C-alpha cells in the first residue's frame, strides 16, 4: 500500500530571502517525494477550523493570528512576518496534521510534509511556530474518544516546550522530548520525560540512548503516536548542536517507526525542524521520514 502523505502548496509561505527559515524546503520536499516515487498523489488538507484549533489554543490568540493583530514583540518571538501567506500556512499546515492523524487511524501510518510546530503554547507562538499542529491533532483525537493514551515522541534538536506546556495537566497525552541541552529554548519546560543530550553527541551514543528510552516507553500502553522527526540534530545544521550523521538520522527514523508499527500502534509523522547549511541535503534528510514510513507499508 502507498503511504498516505499530506501536502499543500501553501505550506510554502512567501517570505523575504533574508528570513532565516528555509521555507522553500516544503515545495522541494514535495517534488522530491514524487520524483523518488515515494508518493504518487498527495492528500490535500483544508485549513484547520477555529473550532478544532480552540481545543489547544485560546480564542484570543487564534483571532490575533487570523486578524494579524499580534504586537511587535509577539511577532518577533515567532520569527515570521505576520503576512497573509504566513497566516494561511499556519491554518493549512495544522489542518494537514489533523488530516494525517485521521489517515494514520485508518491506515496505521501517515505523514504530513510540514508540522511539528512544537514551540507554540496555547496563547503564544515562538521559534517559527504559530499554531501547535500536533497539540491540536492530539486534542482532536482525545476529545472525540478516538485515542485514550497518546505519546508525542519529539526528536527535534530543540525541546518540545509548547507541547509540555499544553499537556502538563493532561494525563491522556505523554510528552517525550529528547533534545540538545544547550539549544533553544534556554529555559526548558517540563515534559513527562525529558532527555537532555550533551553538545556534540554522535551517532552511537544517540542511538543507544534512544533505544533505552523506547524500551521504557514500550511499557506504557499508548494507542496513538505522534513522531516529530526534526533533522536539526544533523552535524551540518545551522542551529543544532549535535553531531549526528545522515546514517544516524536514517537509523533513528527506522528505529522509531519500526518500534511502534510492529506494535500496531497508529503513528503520525510530522517534519519538525531542519536548517542544514546544504539545502539539497536538508530536503533529502527530511524525506527520510516519508521514505522510512513507506517501507513499512510495502
Ligand atoms: Zn528544531
DSSP string, 43-104: BPPPPPPHHHHTTTS-HHHHHHHHTT---HHHHHHH-S---HHHHHHHHHHHHHHHHHHHHH
- The 10 Å CB-count burial string (b at 16+, else e) for 213-230 is ebeebeeeebbbbbbbbb
Residues annotated as part of the active site: 119
**What is the spatial distance between Cα 139 and Cα 149, in angstroms, rounded to a whole number?**
11
Q: How confident is the model at residue 65 (pLDDT cuts 50, 70, 90)?
A: very high
Band of pLDDT at residue 18, cut at 50, 70 and 90: confident
141-185: pLDDT as tens digits: 999 999 999 999 999 999 999 999 999 999 999 999 999 999 999
Cα 130 to its chain centre, rounded Å, is: 13
Q: Rounded to the nearest whole angstrom, what is the distance from the C-alpha of residue 286 to the centroid of ligand 1?
A: 12
Closest CA to 290 of 269, 273, 274: 269
Q: What pLDDT was estimated at residue 89?
A: 98
CA distance 223 to 147: 6
Q: Output the CA 208–ligand 1 centroid distance in Å.
A: 21
Q: What is the mean pLDDT of the chain?
A: 97
Task: Find the 103 Cα to ligand 1 centroid distance in Å.
Answer: 25
CATH classification of the domain holding 119: 3.40.800.20
Q: How far apart are CA 4 and CA 108, in angstroms?
A: 10
pLDDT exceeding 70 applies to what percent of the chain? 100
Measured in angstroms, how far is the CA atom of residue 15 from the centroid of ligand 1? 19
Instruction: Please give the DSSP secondary-structure letter assigned to residue 11.
Output: G
**Which of 20, 18, 115, 95 has its CA nearest to residue 51?**
95
DSSP state of 5: E
Q: How many domains does the chain have?
A: 1
Domain limits for position 293: 5-297
Amino acid at each position: 500500500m502507498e503511504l498516505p502523505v499530506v501536502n499543500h502548496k501553501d505550506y510554502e509561505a512567501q517570505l523575504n530571502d533574508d528570513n532565516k527559515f528555509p521555507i522553500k524546503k516544503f515545495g522541494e520536499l514535495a517534488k522530491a517525494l514524487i520524483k523518488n516515487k515515494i508518493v504518487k498523489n498527495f492528500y490535500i488538507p483544508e485549513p484547520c477550523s477555529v473550532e478544532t484549533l480552540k481545543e489547544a489554543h485560546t480564542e484570543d490568540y487564534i483571532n490575533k493570528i487570523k486578524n494579524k493583530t499580534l504586537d511587535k514583540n509577539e511577532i518577533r518571538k515567532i520569527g515570521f512576518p505576520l503576512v497573509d501567506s504566513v497566516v494561511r500556512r499556519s491554518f493549512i499546515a495544522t489542518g494537514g496534521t489533523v488530516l494525517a492523524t485521521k489517515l494514520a487511524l485508518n491506515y496505521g501510518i501517515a505523514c504530513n510534509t510540514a508540522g511539528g510546530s512544537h514551540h507554540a503554547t496555547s496563547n503564544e507562538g515562538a521559534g517559527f511556530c504559530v499554531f501547535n499542529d500536533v497539540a491540536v491533532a492530539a486534542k482532536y483525537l482525545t476529545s472525540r474518544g478516538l485515542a485514550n493514551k497518546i505519546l508525542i515522541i519529539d526528536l527535534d534538536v530543540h525541546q518540545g516546550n509548547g507541547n509540555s506546556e499544553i499537556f502538563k495537566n493532561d494525563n491522556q497525552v505523554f510528552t517525550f522530548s529528547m533534545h540538545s541541552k544547550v539549544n533553544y529554548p534556554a529555559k526548558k519546560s517540563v515534559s513527562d520525560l525529558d532527555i537532555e543530550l550533551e553538545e556534540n553527541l554522535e551517532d552511537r551514543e544517540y542511538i543507544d540512548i534512544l533505544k533505552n528510552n523506547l524500551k521504557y516507553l514500550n511499557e506504557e500502553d499508548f494507542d496513538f503516536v505522534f513522531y516529530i522527526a526534526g533533522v536539526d540534530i544533523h552535524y551540518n545544521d545551522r542551529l543544532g548542536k549535535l553531531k549526528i550523521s545522515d546514517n544516524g538520522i536514517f537509523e533513528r527514523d527506522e528505529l522509531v517507526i519500526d518500534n511502534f508499527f510492529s506494535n500496531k500502534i497508529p503513528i503520525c509523522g510530522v517534519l519538525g525542524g531542519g536548517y542544514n547549511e546544504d539545502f539539497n541535503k536538508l530536503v533529502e534528510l527530511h524525506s527520510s521520514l516519508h521514505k522510512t514510513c513507506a517501507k513499512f507499508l510495502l
